Structure 1
């Protein structure tokens, strides 16, 4: 499955991913100790929703625009992050994970970004020029393994690939296993698109074999039954999620389900420990 950020910016997957990512980092920041935030597949950092690529899919209408129209206060933090890069009521620009993570930084925190695609890396450096983020242009999985554990005692690795390569899931699985051996208490967030349940079930089976004690799976299914051959939703695998995040996760997921359900569908959210 080819999932380039620029074509799908601000869709329902981004709303889910960024809402949960904000909540996760904020939960970790309940403690004053420094955090290192690492984004292995950072993309361009900022997307023009009026541009050709975003307009070609028009997915923002079913994503960020639905989130902005929904009155629930549970999405206030997400809406504020998007509004921070816009002027006016309706978003024209969409912040990628690097921009959102930069907004969350406290003075003691660090942000490390990586983007292998040369054009996207060049754009990313421009977008992040007024921040203290370090930007790398390396193979994502090599960087992930090389950079953990970070210099700070705590940190988060965000893994958000386009799933262009047939071995993407296998590389994630192998790198996660090696990274957890080096940094057992680290927090890792792995985003994935949901196209069909069989493929997803097989991947979960492989991840379960790793024996990671605290590996949470979160799934947001848009439709009441699988729609063959198309994008059906998105989810996250989260290693070592903090307690405060787990406490608010059910209500936030329900708010996302209600805000993003396509017309005629209720949608579904699922979460639980992968070993259960």
Structure 2
């Protein structure tokens, strides 16, 4: 599956991913200690929803625009993060994870970004100009391990690959296992698309065998029944989520489900621990 973000910016997956990312970082920031935030597949950092690639799919209509039309206050933090890069009214720019993470930084926190594709890395540097973010242009999985343990005692690694390579899931599993050996207490968030339910179940079984104790999954299925051969939704693996985050998660997930359910579908969003 090829998931170049410029075609999909602001879709339902982004709404869920970025809502949960904001909630996760804010939960960690309830303690004053510094955080290192690392984004391994940063993309361009900022996307034009009126540009050719975003208009070609029109996915923002079913994502960020639905979230802006919804009145649930639990989505206020997400809407504020998007509004921060727009002049007002309906959003026409969409912040990727780098711009959202940059908004969350406190003076004591650090932000490390990485994008391997040269053209996207150039756009990322432009989008992050004037911020304190460090921008790398390296293999994402090499950088993931090289940055661990983080310079601060706590941190978050965000892994959001395009799933262009057939071995992407295998590389994630291998790197996650190695990262956990180096940084067992660290927090990681891994995004994935949901297309084939059976294949995804097999991948979860492989990840379960890694034996990581605090391994949460969150899955957002858009339709009431699987639609064969198409994108059905997206999910997140979250390793070592803080207690404050997991306690606040159920009402946020319900707010997201209700806001993003396609016409004629209730949709489903659920979370549970990946355990034997």
Please report how far the alpha carbon of residue 140 of structure 1 lies from its aligned counterpart in structure 2 after TM superposition.
Answer: 0.1
Superposed CA deviations along residues 200-231 of structure 1, whole A, max 9, x for unmatched, are 10110010000000000100110001011111
Task: Supply the distance in 1 between the matched residues of 2:137 and 2:193 (Cα, whole angstroms).
Answer: 24
Correspondence 1:229-248 to 2 at 5 A = 229-248=229-248
Please list every run of 5 or more consecutive structure 2 residues that lacks an aligned counterpart in the other structure. Answer: none
Superposed CA deviations along residues 110-141 of structure 1, whole A, max 9, x for unmatched, are 00000000000001001101100000000000
How large is the Cα RMSD of the aligned pairs? 0.5
What TM-score comes out, normalization by structure 2 length?
0.99
Match of 1:235, SS state, is strand
Q: Say yes or no: does 1:156 pair with 2:156.
A: yes
Q: Say yes or no: does 1:257 pair with 2:265.
A: no
Task: Supply the distance in 1 between the matched residues of 2:212 and 2:4 (Cα, whole angstroms).
Answer: 29
Correspondence 1:3-14 to 2 at 5 A = 3-14=3-14
> Corresponding residue for 1:192?
192
> Corresponding residue for 1:169?
169
What is the aligned residue count?
Answer: 276
> Corresponding residue for 1:69?
69
Please list every run of 5 or more consecutive structure 1 residues that lacks an aligned counterpart in the other structure. Answer: none
Task: Supply the distance in 1 between the matched residues of 2:269 and 2:223 (Cα, whole angstroms).
Answer: 10
Match of 2:269, SS state, is strand
Moved over 2 A (4+): none
Please report how far the alpha carbon of residue 235 of structure 1 lies from its aligned counterpart in structure 2 after TM superposition.
Answer: 0.6
Task: Supply the distance in 1 between the matched residues of 2:131 and 2:91 (Cα, whole angstroms).
Answer: 22
Please report how far the alpha carbon of residue 32 of structure 1 lies from its aligned counterpart in structure 2 after TM superposition.
Answer: 0.1
Match of 2:252, SS state, is helix
Task: Supply the distance in 1 between the matched residues of 2:17 and 2:199 (Cα, whole angstroms).
Answer: 20
Please report how far the alpha carbon of residue 199 of structure 1 lies from its aligned counterpart in structure 2 after TM superposition.
Answer: 1.2
Correspondence 1:101-250 to 2 at 5 A = 101-250=101-250
What TM-score comes out, normalization by structure 1 length?
0.99
